[in-house]
């Protein structure tokens, strides 16, 4: 029987657990069927620029707890809108997906494992329509991929954020300040919600629930009357005031999603200082949330995802994304995933938990 040749790439932003998935795919595929594996460097850009590396049992060993990705990644490449110079040297966006598919076939790959977020899944879905067999693995610290209960990387980022909030409590208490902590998450509030709950935040602001500054001021004032001369405000980078807009830090034109959010923490700290007359400080966690070693939870989840992806590759099934449903690792149609986001439902049980604790959600 012909050995399977399986390609593996990581796309989008990095996060803890990527290497654990790669390890799971490689070792399970080799152990079960003696498959050959090819690593694509820097996401879809590697298929366009023909950059690869072999993935073996040896180079997949020892990477379980390693952060980042041994394959490299990029969140600036969309093969259907790829920027490259034209005959006059001017940068022009063009569809180079056929070039990518051609190299995939030249490598004699049977299937491609694409590990990434919603952008990677959307591109993968379009490449499937060109005949490429693909298995998706959902990755993002934002936890916003439709079709899976949890993405790997989220727990690690949430833990980092919660630990930061823990540390900010002491300085907030000592100086009687409002401490605003800005976390990532883009258009989904999962990271702010869960890290805020875990860290004991007094105010948690999400993109899904526009906030009223007066409601936050009232809570801070009530805490002061009770002798709590400080407050911890956890705000998602995509949060916005009632009737207002998200704060955009900058635009990256060549990216699949060009909007880079950021700055709401500074705006909120300034507004709260004016409204409450309490000294306010802001901490932006930024890329700290995407770095470092994965938590044990993410190591196990990423490994399970990788092994399931290998199982699907060897069974000749394609066009699916692995997912966590309850305690089970399952597969969902990739075509149903691309272009959708899993946002926080204002009626979610975690929202009810926060409200029952007296946490202000800004509404």
Which residues are identified as catalytic? 142
What is the spatial distance between Cα 265 and Cα 281, in angstroms, rounded to a whole number?
Answer: 9
Angle, CA of 83, 55 and 30, to the nearest 5°: 135
The length of the chain, given as a count of residues? 363
Q: Burial level of 226, CB count in 10 A (0-12/13-18/19+)?
A: exposed
Distance of CA 40 to the CA centre of its chain: 20
CA distances to 163, 201, 228, 271, 286 from 280, in Å: 20, 15, 15, 9, 19
Is the Cβ–Cβ distance between 71 and 9 less than 8 Å? yes
Give strand pairing partners of 38.
7, 54
What is the rounded distance in angstroms from the CA atom of residue 278 to the CA atom of residue 9? 49
Q: For strands 178-183 and 280-284, give the pairing.
A: parallel
Q: Where are the beta strands (DSSP E) in 188-289?
A: 203-205, 231-236, 248-251, 259-261, 280-284
């Amino acid at each position: 029987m012909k050995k399977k040749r399986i390609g593996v790439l990581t796309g989008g932003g990095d996060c803890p657990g990527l290497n654990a998935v790669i390890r799971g795919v490689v070792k399970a595929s080799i152990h079960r069927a003696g498959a050959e594996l090819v690593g694509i460097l820097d996401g879809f850009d590697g298929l366009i620029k023909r950059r690869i590396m072999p993935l073996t049992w040896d180079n997949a060993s020892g990477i379980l707890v390693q952060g980042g990705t041994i394959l490299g990644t990029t969140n600036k490449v969309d093969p259907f809108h790829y920027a490259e110079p034209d005959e006059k040297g001017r940068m022009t966006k063009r569809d180079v997906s056929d070039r990518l598919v051609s190299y995939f076939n030249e490598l004699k790959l049977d299937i491609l494992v694409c590990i990434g977020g919603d952008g990677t899944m959307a591109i993968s879905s379009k490449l499937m329509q060109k005949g490429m067999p693909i298995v998706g693995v959902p990755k993002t610290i934002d936890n916003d991929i439709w079709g899976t209960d949890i993405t790997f990387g989220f727990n690690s980022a949430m833990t980092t954020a919660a630990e930061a909030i823990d540390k900010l409590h002491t300085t907030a208490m000592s100086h009687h300040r409002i401490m605003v902590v800005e976390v990532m998450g883009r258009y989904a509030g999962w990271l702010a919600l869960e890290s805020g709950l875990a860290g004991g935040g007094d105010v948690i602001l999400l993109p899904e629930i526009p906030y009223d500054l007066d409601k936050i001021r009232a809570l801070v004032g009530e805490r002061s009357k009770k002798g709590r001369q400080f407050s911890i405000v956890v705000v998602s980078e995509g949060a916005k005031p009632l009737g207002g807009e998200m704060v955009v830090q900058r635009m990256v034109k060549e990216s699949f999603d060009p909007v880079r959010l950021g700055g709401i923490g500074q705006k909120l700290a300034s507004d709260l200082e004016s409204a409450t007359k309490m000294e306010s400080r802001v901490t932006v966690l930024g890329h700290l949330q995407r770095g470092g070693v994965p938590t044990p939870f993410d190591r196990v989840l990423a490994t399970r995802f990788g092994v399931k992806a290998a199982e699907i590759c060897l069974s000749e099934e394609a066009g699916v994304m692995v997912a966590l449903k309850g305690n089970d690792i399952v597969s969902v149609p990739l075509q149903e995933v691309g272009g959708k986001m899993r946002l926080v439902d204002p009626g979610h049980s975690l929202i009810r938990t926060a409200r029952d604790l007296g946490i202000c959600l800004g509404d």
